[in-house]
Amino acid sequence: MAKLRRRQEDKTSIPIAPMIDVVFLLLIYFMVSSTLERQEADLSFQLPGSVEQEEPLDLPDEQVIEIQDGGQVVVNDYSYDSPEEDRFDELAAMLTRFREASEANKVEAIVTISPGGSVKHAQIVKVMDACSLAGIEAVNFALGGEG
């Protein structure tokens, strides 16, 4: 019987050295052709503060503060502080910024407190204290809280 011989197949090889050379040449090209930009922190500019409006607006500026049944305070779907805290400092800081923006627009800052049906009076008093700390005098109550 005759034995079949396998034919030697030429293995193709990819030369890796020229590819590495091309990669380094591209890297050098992009490094040389790129421009370096200053980072934002290096730029010297000042953001404007509050700008007062020349004429008062006809519409008052109002925020509605919801007090949920669990005691959580929510303004514009954002929860402030936690019900267990003695003071609502985060809420007072937000209300201070609200009052300052209203004064810059020459409108009265009005706050409406909307408590839930089973909210404890202590939580309402805490919200009123935050309004007082912020310097807001126009505080209203919404009727028909959730319950």
Strand order, beta sheet including 61-67: 78-80, 73-75, 61-67, 109-115, 138-141
pLDDT exceeds cutoff 60 at 114:
yes
Which CATH number fits the domain that encloses residue 87?
3.30.420.270
First to last CA, the chain: 99
**Residue with tokens 């000042």, as numbered in its chain:** 46
Arithmetic mean of pLDDT, 34-43? 66
* pTM score above 0.85: no
Tell me if 26 is assigned to some domain.
no
Average pLDDT over residues 111-133: 88
CB 85 within 8 A of CB 36: no
Is 85 a domain residue? Answer: yes
The CA distance from 63 to 102, in Å, is 11
Domain count, the chain: 1
54 domain-assigned:
no
**pLDDT value at 147 more than 50:** no
Q: What is the identity of the amino acid at 48?
A: P
Per-residue pLDDT band for 121 (boundaries 50, 70, 90) equals confident
Query: How confident is the model over 42-93, as pLDDT tens digits?
Result: 556 666 666 666 666 566 678 888 988 888 888 888 888 887 887 788 889 9
In a domain, 92, yes or no: yes
Q: What is the mean pLDDT of the chain?
A: 80
Residue 57: the pLDDT is: 58
Domain assignment present for 118: yes
Which of 49, 61, 59 minimizes the C-alpha distance to 103? 61
Q: With bands split at pLDDT 50, 70 and 90, how would you rate the model's confidence at 29?
A: very high
Q: Residue 87 falls within a domain, yes or no?
A: yes
**In terms of residue numbers, what domain contains 113?**
61-141
Residue 49 lies in a domain: no
